[in-house]
A and B are shown apart, each in its own frame.
Chain A
Amino acid sequence: MTVPHNTDAVALTIFVVLFAAVAFMGFIAARWRRGDLNVLDEWGLAGRRFGSVVTWFLLGGDLYTAYTFIAVPALVYGSGAAGFFALPYTIIMYPFVFVVMPRLWAVAHKHRYVTPADFVRGRYGSRGLATATAFTGILATMPYIALQLVGIQVVLGALGVHGDWPLIIAFAVLAAYTYQSGLRAPALIALVKDALIYITIIVAVIYIPSKVGGFGHIFDAAEKALPGHTTPTGKPGAFLPGTAAAQQAYATLALGSALALFLYPHSVTGVLSSESAQVIRRNSVVLPAYTFLLGLIALLGYMTIAAGITPSNPNYAVPDLFVHFFPSWFTGVAFAAIAVGALVPAAIMSIAAANLFTRNLWKEFVRPDMTGRQEATVAKLASLVVKVGALLFIILLPNKYSIDLQLLGGVWILQTLPSIVIGLYTRWFHRWALLIGWAVGMGIGTWMAADMDFKTSVYPLNLFGWHFSAYAAVFALVANLIVSVALTLVLKLVGARDSAEDETRPEDYSEFRRRPARPTAGLAH
């Protein structure tokens, strides 16, 4: 059956009211934990004062985006088990974050770094490497912002609202309160967003299975129907990853995506805005609650199959499911949850991209003598430009381009891992070797994705009779690492000195160092 997209006055009213309430919160967020918003540290990192609870909401809103809520069940609906890689991906990500990110926080806190490229600049004393890091970050983030708009577009479409104006209005409001309140806005809105999302999903996974005959029936129906579905590469869907190639793709997509997510500038912004390394460690323990939720959201794709709904486009798998089963008012709540879920990451992403532009491009090449106040002004304007750019991209070009670019974004951002993550542990690599390794990784990853016509990021490699299917980002990272290691060895052998200064010291990185001891420490005596 197909679900009609009629204009539903009740759902639309609830949607608009919730959306307006959230926008209002975005504006008053400027007064929350008041700081001087004319300084980049306050506008772009909210003064680095967020505790465990706010960081939990902020990172939850930042990482689990509206596009995820639409795209993951869409992939599960169309391809089956392959879409479930989102689960191992967002499980193994946190042990990695637990170990690595407190070190980044510690060194950034000590040297007042705002962006990952700031760290690379300080660690390697290399303008080229820092610029490459900033450039990759901005390039990978832009299509990600554009895809949040696709999320809003899909729910608006399911509500029977078409045309560009609603999207333009939504983004204008977002741009205005981000400009005014900086990172405080998405942090405050994230609280509402998460409440709405949790309510929606809990209701959905209890109510819908009871209507379609229970989880046993849902999985049976999916198993029967999936071979008849067509994946983006033209193969049939699969209920389990049965072939070696499917399993290799599944594992490498999970690993590569897990390593990549926290290299994105918006994730780093979330990390650096927290008040201590302990906050990040604690959050690595409690953030998997969202992963569980994401797994349930993925299952909605199978519920759409079990309900016998045939969406016009897989992206409508979840919206159609909600329209079919929920009363109008609750559909309004659920769609508002998804739309607000787009605003939170879009705001953080645009702030992160603006920080990169300001600190690592504008300040580096145009105005090295900027004051803190001028930095904040440039960043606010840059955040507007970034959002207008994303909006134009979605309105003027087919959505396919944003989706292709976002797929490439994951491949690109992973190429900054050697400079950022390995750089947190060792300064052994030569900066030129890292730069050339990065270029090689970017080139190979882009070529592999293009070779697959952007239909998938999985590349079937045949090398000397050895077959291996893996996420192109992982192949590119391996090439990147091989080049970086080999060139560093060669440069060290020929005695090319890496004369650039490392402004950090080994003790700056200790993830165990605490803030100045609290008065209670005296009790130990």
Chain B
Amino acid sequence: MNGSNDARRRGWYVLLLAPFVGLLFPGWYATKSPELWGIPFFYWYQFAWVIAAALITALVYVLTRARDSEDRS
């Protein structure tokens, strides 16, 4: 394993900032509409982020892990 390879992998970490941007400005989502199945936007939006953030983290996990085989060869 070499340093530049690690640096390239850490580049994917930028994706992990998305949940911070999506959630740390409640002014953007503190509204009632659009409702989803009777649930106000403020509430379902945050539930949706639970799933979105987990998927993004999973993606970064796969992207940073896939390169292990290169390191070993």
Contact = CB atoms under 8 A, between A and B. Distances in A.
B19 A98 contact: no
A247 B40 contact: no
Contact of B39 (A88, A219, A241, A281): A219
A88 B30 contact: no
B57 to A, nearest CB: 5
B26 interface: yes
A239 B31 CA distance: 10
Contact of A95 (B20, B26, B27, B47): B20
Interface in A216-268: 216-217, 219, 239-242, 244, 247, 250-251, 254-255
B68 A288 contact: no
Interface string B1-44: 10000100100010011011001111100111000011110110
Contacts of B50: 87, 91, 288, 291-292, 295
A99 interface: yes
B57 A91 contact: no
Interface string A487-525: 000000000000000000000001011100100010010
Given A95-B16, A95-B53, A285 B46 contact: no
A512 B51 CA distance: 25
Nearest to A524: B73
B19 A219 contact: no
Contacts of A517: 72
A29 to B, nearest CB: 30
Contacts of A361: none
A512 B9 contact: yes
Contacts of A250: 26
Contacts of B32: 240
B26 A241 contact: yes
A71 interface: no
Nearest to A298: B43
Interface string A291-324: 1100100010000000000000000000000000
Given A215-B38, A241-B30, A282-B61, A84 B43 contact: yes
Interface residues of B, number: 41
A289 B47 CA distance: 11
A87 B23 CA distance: 10
A254 B19 CA distance: 12
Interface in A29-44: none
A513 B64 CA distance: 12
Contacts of A289: 54
A295 B46 contact: yes
A247 B26 contact: yes
Given A214-B38, A240-B40, A288-B50, A247 B23 contact: no
Contact of A98 (B16, B47, B72, B73): B16
A92 interface: yes
Contact of B46 (A88, A219, A244, A278): A88
Contacts of A524: 69, 72-73
Given A95-B20, A285-B58, A87 B27 contact: no
A510 B57 contact: no
B24 A88 contact: yes
Counting chain A CB atoms within 10 Å of each CB, the highest count among B16, B27, B38, B50 belongs to: B50
B40 to A, nearest CB: 6
A286 interface: yes
A475 interface: no
Contact of B42 (A240, A281, A284): A240
Contact of A288 (B1, B24, B54, B69): B54
A81 interface: yes
Contacts of A291: 50
Contacts of B37: 215-216
A295 B47 contact: yes
B49 A95 contact: no
Interface string A93-109: 01100110000000000
A292 B46 contact: no
Contact of A521 (B1, B6, B27, B72): B72
B20 A92 contact: yes
B49 A285 contact: no
B30 to A, nearest CB: 5
A460 B17 CA distance: 27
Contacts of B51: 288, 292
B49 to A, nearest CB: 5
B6 A512 contact: yes
A285 B26 contact: no
Contacts of A514: 68
A299 B39 CA distance: 11
A216 B32 CA distance: 12
Contacts of A521: 72
A395 to B, nearest CB: 38
A514 B23 CA distance: 33
B61 to A, nearest CB: 6
Nearest to A284: B57
A251 B26 contact: yes
A81 B17 CA distance: 24
B24 A251 contact: yes
7 nearest A-B pairs in the assembled complex, by CB-CB distance: A216-B38, A95-B16, A88-B23, A288-B54, A247-B26, A285-B58, A87-B46
17 contacts: A84-B46, A87-B47, A91-B19, A91-B23, A92-B19, A92-B20, A215-B38, A219-B39, A219-B43, A239-B40, A247-B27, A285-B54, A285-B61, A288-B53, A514-B68, A524-B69, A524-B73
